[in-house]
Amino acid sequence: MEVSARYLGNEEFEVTAGVHKVLCDQPVGNGGADQGMSPPEFLLASLATCAGYYAAQYLNTRRLPSENLNVRVIAQKKAEPVRLGAFQIAVTAPGIDQRHQAGVLRAVRACLIHNTLLSAPAIDITVDTSVPVPNAA
């Protein structure tokens, strides 16, 4: 799995994942133009869509209503070091009983992003200072 972020100037980056491209920017208050989600918003979006995917799989496999499925993620900022320190995932799945509510909860807890955030992954950072080779045309 790989994504790349190409600097466009100001506070904007074009993020590429396979054939998909999205714009990442900072809010106006952070010097950006608010032309795309901020990096923390992308993280929250990853958690929400992953949780939603697992919830939808649970519901659809059991032929339960999924058309009004909604996932909301809220994060609290912490300092020293600056980070997102607490997440709340709220899943709305109307029309299911208590037994399936517990099943959706189990399914969401199996989400790859949720589990990644529970156990801090190793992160290796390198800086390449070589000059890029122009594309041959």
Q: How confident is the model at residue 134 (pLDDT cuts 50, 70, 90)?
A: confident
Q: Which two tokens stand for residue 68?
A: 């009004």
What pLDDT shows up at residue 133?
Answer: 76
Model confidence at 27: pLDDT above 80: yes
What pLDDT shows up at residue 90?
Answer: 98
**pLDDT digits over 50-69, tens only?**
999 999 999 999 999 999 99
